[in-house]
């Protein structure tokens, strides 16, 4: 299907603004080629509303991809593998080369439809099937530790001198375990479409580096990979007896 076909579907497209569904902007082509292990939901069949001449977005998309490819060897050392980059989608797999053995951790798909009138949409996907994760399936919620201002501490809580209280904030947000989670970060479509962030317009970030391909990948790498460690637990459990024949 060509973009012109997609344009014909514009009128009946679009998830509610601010919903997790807002992050789904897969092209019909992509939807047809991506195997789905789950029954298709309404959000997976949504067609993006075209607000920008695709030729303009495509040129900006190409610029992002060219810059990425120029540094591809370095990003591979970071454990990033660019699988596909065909407008409007970029598909990247994140691995953890610092682990022994190294691990394939998750995939990410960025959709640059309407870029850069709108920021890219970002989904975390199973790196093998490319099916978007549900919240309960996420290999990582992209946790980060955020310092708590002293005036936000619970009343009466006494902290040792010099201690810096922190709370964990997950960058992947969702409403229920079966929802598709979304990356809640400035420079990402779901963040700027969310009703809670109407005061933080994309246009405040658009020319400041947010929403660029490598910037978003850096955030995913930093919070999804850099702190990753192998967690190995071995338990011995007696489950019964086994008889071994004795030689006479």
Partner 1 sequence: MADLKETLTVVVGGTPVQVEANPNAELRTVVNRALAESHNTGQPPENWELRDKDGNLLDVTKKVSAYHFAAGATLFLNLRAGIGG
At 23 the three-state DSSP class reads: helix
Q: Name residues contacting partner 1, limited to 19-78 (CB under 8 A).
A: 64, 67-68, 70-71, 74, 77-78
How far is Cα 130 from Cα 172, in angstroms, rounded to an integer?
17
Q: Does 209 bind partner 1 (CB under 8 A)?
A: yes
φ, ψ of residue 71 in degrees (nearest 5): -115, 20
Rounded (5°) CA angle 42-46-51: 155
Could you tell me the smallest distance in angstroms from the CB atom of residue 75 to partner 1?
9
Q: Does 116 bind partner 1 (CB under 8 A)?
A: no
* Residue 2, CB-side half-sphere exposure with 13 Å CA sphere: 2
* Contact between 170 and 142 (Cβ < 8 Å): yes
The tokens for 29 are 């082509």
Q: Does 187 bind partner 1 (CB under 8 A)?
A: yes
Could you tell me the smallest distance in angstroms from the CB atom of residue 231 to partner 1?
20
Binds partner 1 by CB under 8 A, chosen from 94, 106, 174, 223: 223
Sole window of 25-33, 87-95, 117-125, 165-173 interacting with partner 1 (rule: CB under 8 A): 165-173
**Residues that bind partner 1 in the complex, under the rule CB under 8 A:** 64, 67-68, 70-71, 74, 77-78, 144, 169-171, 173, 183-187, 191, 205, 207-210, 212-215, 218-219, 222-223, 226
């Amino acid at each position: 299907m060509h973009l012109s076909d997609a344009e014909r579907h514009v009128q009946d497209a679009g998830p509610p603004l601010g919903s997790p569904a807002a992050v789904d902007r897969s092209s019909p082509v992509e939807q047809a080629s991506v195997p789905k292990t789950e029954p298709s939901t309404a959000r997976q069949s949504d067609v993006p509303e075209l607000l920008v001449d695709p030729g303009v977005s495509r040129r900006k998309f190409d610029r992002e991809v060219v810059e990425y490819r120029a540094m591809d060897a370095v990003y591979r050392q970071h454990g990033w593998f660019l699988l596909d980059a065909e407008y409007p989608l970029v598909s990247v797999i994140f691995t953890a080369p610092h682990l022994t053995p190294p691990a394939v951790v998750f995939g990410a798909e960025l959709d640059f439809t309407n870029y850069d009138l709108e920021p890219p949409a970002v989904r975390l996907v199973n790196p093998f099937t490319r099916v978007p994760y549900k919240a309960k399936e996420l290999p990582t919620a992209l946790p980060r530790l955020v310092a708590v201002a002293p005036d936000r501490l619970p009343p009466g809580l006494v902290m040792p001198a010099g201690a810096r209280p922190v709370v964990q904030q997950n960058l992947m947000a969702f409403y229920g375990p079966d929802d598709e989670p979304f990356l809640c970060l400035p420079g990402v479509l779901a963040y700027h479409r969310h009703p809670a962030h109407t005061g933080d317009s994309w246009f405040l970030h658009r020319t400041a580096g947010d929403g660029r391909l490598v910037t978003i990948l850096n955030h995913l790498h930093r919070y999804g990979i850099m702190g990753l460690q192998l967690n190995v637990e071995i338990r011995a459990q007696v489950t019964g007896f086994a008889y071994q024949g004795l030689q006479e």
